[in-house]
């Protein structure tokens, strides 16, 4: 790694710490620490949601897949863009208002408990344990991804990369809480956006023009130019179905809850969509032009196409910035998941179960310690990247989508939804995802269908059937549901 | 030999995602127009008492 690149990295880390410190000064209570005091504006909200939602996959995985197989890999991008838009359009406003009307719920488990007047605490416990376990593995897997990347690309030792990366993320997340996460995500989202716009445009100029690029790619394999090459109907449906996952991702849903007003969500949706579509198309064309650019010297690891472009097309300062964008994509996702996992531990379990009357000061410190504890756990887990426990993360996107997606959608839009319905839906969704995936791996299900599809619809059905079995919706719950329709928050 | 993207590829690239951007830009413009309309209305509401005062005097 050149000294210039190292300088850019150090500057980047310094900016993150400054943001963390400014956020610390603005944080005075638990609502600030885990939900930014519901003061997120549309620009910070829109772009930071994009950065936290899109992990290293956007800059490494997607361009790598397109580089390897051509345009038939774009379906997942289409599914994600549509799913995210629908999520902002329908879930965003309603959950922002409903969480405030329902006893000012600060977390997703808190909302489910308040929405259904659940005195048994079962919804809170199931939801927060699920969040805690899956995010701990998600965070660990993100740390492994980042450390492996820096080890293979720059020759830094795996442990050094892991420990430095973890220390920086812990630093700004622990001191600054949600404000720090949202503002650093915004900054990181801008870097990702610029990087994903710049690389394909400069690559295209280097290739000559669009026609030259297409001719070179077509001469390698004409299938690279066809979105249907090597695909099946179920395969395309499976890729599009990734978009269903958005309705249940806690780190995305919480951004809606943190926006200042529901009007900000309308503007935030537009900001997010422009960012998201440009970033996904940028990632697709980075991989696509990579096919033509590296025709004489194919890449051993397709997932490094973005990095190799950054290193070959630009001067060291710009290269440093582009590589920082890769790190931004990884770090922004980890920090968002970290703050949600910490809130599950501190707000949902510690306060919700044991210390209902704890002071704000005590809760803030518990939340900070929760960030530290979860980070240390995830880092220790990441020290052994071969650990089979980490394979659990493969279920996380589909798992969250199936467990929380139908539960949230029906809680928001169907007044007859009951507590038992939601509980059944969460369990059916989670179990179906795991069982379906294992049965496919064992060859008992003879075709491939992404597990989120049976998981999501199984869960949806379970919520509806169990809710209809026994009418336990209280008058108070119906009145609250209707108050949300009239609210002008 | 000349190559080109298949029609399906062109449509997939140019329809779903760019369409979302168009929706978003329209939505942003509508929001701006609504805000402007509301501002004009609130300004005229503020002016009315002044006009009444002037007329009365």
List the 195-254 stretch of A: residues with Cβ below 8 A of B: 214-215, 217-219, 222, 225-228
Indicate whether A309 pLDDT > 90: yes
Residue-wise pLDDT for A11-69, tens only, equals 999 999 999 999 999 998 888 998 998 999 999 999 999 999 998 889 999 999 999 99
Residue-wise pLDDT for A407-435, tens only, equals 999 999 999 999 999 999 999 999 999 99
Which range has the worst mean pLDDT, A85-94, A336-345, B32-41? B32-41
Confidence (pLDDT) at A147? 87
From CA A411, how far away is CA A98, in angstroms rounded?
A: 10
Confidence (pLDDT) at A376? 93
Given an 8 Å threshold on Cβ–Cβ distance, is B27 in contact with A270? Answer: yes
Residue that has been written with the tokens 């179960």 in this structure: A353
Confidence (pLDDT) at A385? 77
List the 61-100 stretch of A: residues with Cβ below 8 A of B: 71, 74-75, 77-78, 81-82, 85
The neighbouring-strand residues paired with A40 are A259
Best mutation target among B4, B7, B11, B13 (most A Cβ atoms within 10 Å) is B13
Confidence (pLDDT) at A372? 94
Q: Which of B2, B23, B28 sits opposite A267 (nearest CB)?
A: B28
| Pair of tokens at residue A306 | 């973005």
Q: Quick check: A240 and A75 in contact, CB under 8 A?
A: yes
Calculate mean pLDDT across residues A288-307. Answer: 93
Supply the pTM of this predicted model.
0.91
Eight-state DSSP code of residue A402: H
Eight-state DSSP code of residue A447: S
Confidence (pLDDT) at A488? 74
Confidence (pLDDT) at A254? 94
Whether B19 contacts chain A with CB within 8 A: no
Given an 8 Å threshold on Cβ–Cβ distance, is B17 in contact with A219? Answer: no
Q: Quick check: A47 and A272 in contact, CB under 8 A?
A: yes
């Amino acid at each position: 790694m050149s000294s210039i690149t190292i300088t850019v990295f150090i500057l980047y880390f310094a900016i993150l710490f400054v943001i963390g410190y400014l956020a610390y000064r603005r944080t005075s209570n638990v609502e600030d620490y885990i939900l930014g005091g519901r003061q997120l504006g549309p620009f910070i909200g829109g772009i930071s949601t994009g950065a936290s939602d899109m992990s290293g996959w956007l800059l490494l995985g997607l361009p790598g897949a397109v580089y390897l197989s051509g345009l038939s890999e774009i379906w997942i991008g289409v599914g994600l863009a549509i799913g995210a838009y629908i999520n902002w359009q329908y879930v965003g406003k309603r959950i922002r208002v409903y969480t405030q009307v329902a006893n000012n719920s600060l977390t997703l488990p808190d909302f489910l408990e308040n929405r259904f007047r659940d005195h048994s605490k079962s919804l809170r416990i199931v939801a927060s344990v699920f969040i805690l376990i899956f995010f701990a593995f998600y965070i660990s897997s993100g740390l492994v991804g980042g450390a492996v990347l820096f080890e293979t690309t720059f020759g830094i030792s795996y442990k050094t990369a892991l420990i430095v990366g973890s220390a920086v993320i812990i630093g700004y997340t622990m001191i600054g809480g949600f404000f720090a996460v949202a503002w650093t995500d915004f900054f990181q989202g801008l870097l990702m956006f610029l990087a994903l716009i710049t690389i394909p445009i400069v690559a295209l100029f280097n290739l000559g023009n669009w026609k030259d690029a297409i001719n070179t790619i077509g001469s390698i394999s004409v299938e690279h130019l066809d979105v249907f090459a090597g695909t099946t109907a179920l395969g395309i449906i499976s890729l599009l179905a990734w978009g269903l996952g958005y309705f249940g991702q806690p780190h995305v849903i919480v951004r809606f809850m943190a926006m200042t007003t529901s009007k900000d969500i309308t503007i935030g949706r537009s900001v997010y969509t422009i960012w998201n579509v440009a970033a996904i198309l940028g990632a697709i064309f980075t991989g696509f032009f990579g096919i033509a650019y590296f025709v004489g010297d194919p890449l051993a690891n397709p997932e490094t196409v973005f990095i190799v472009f950054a290193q070959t097309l630009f001067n060291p300062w710009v290269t440093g910035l582009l590589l920082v964008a890769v790190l931004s994509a990884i770090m922004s996702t980890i920090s968002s998941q970290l703050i949600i996992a910490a809130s599950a531990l501190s707000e949902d379990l510690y306060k919700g179960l044991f210390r209902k009357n704890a002071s704000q000061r005590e809760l803030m410190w518990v939340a900070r310690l929760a960030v530290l504890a979860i980070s240390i756990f995830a880092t220790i887990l990441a020290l052994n990247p071969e650990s089979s426990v980490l394979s659990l993360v493969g279920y996380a996107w589909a798992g969250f989508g199936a467990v929380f997606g139908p539960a949230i959608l029906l809680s928001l839009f169907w007044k007859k939804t009951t507590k038992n319905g939601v509980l059944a839906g969460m369990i059916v969704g989670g179990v179906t995802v795991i069982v379906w995936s294992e049965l496919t791996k064992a060859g008992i299900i003879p075709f491939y269908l992404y597990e989120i599809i049976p998981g999501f619809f199984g869960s949806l059905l379970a919520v509806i059937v169990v809710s209809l079995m026994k009418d336990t919706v209280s008058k108070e719950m119906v009145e609250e549901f209707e108050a949300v329709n009239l609210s002008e928050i | 030999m000349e190559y080109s993207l298949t029609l399906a590829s062109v449509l997939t690239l140019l329809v779903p995602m760019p369409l979302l951007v168009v929706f978003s830009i329209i939505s942003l413009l509508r929001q701006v127009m609504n805000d402007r309309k509301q501002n004009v209305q609130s300004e005229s509401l503020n002016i009315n008492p002044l006009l009444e005062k002037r007329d009365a005097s």
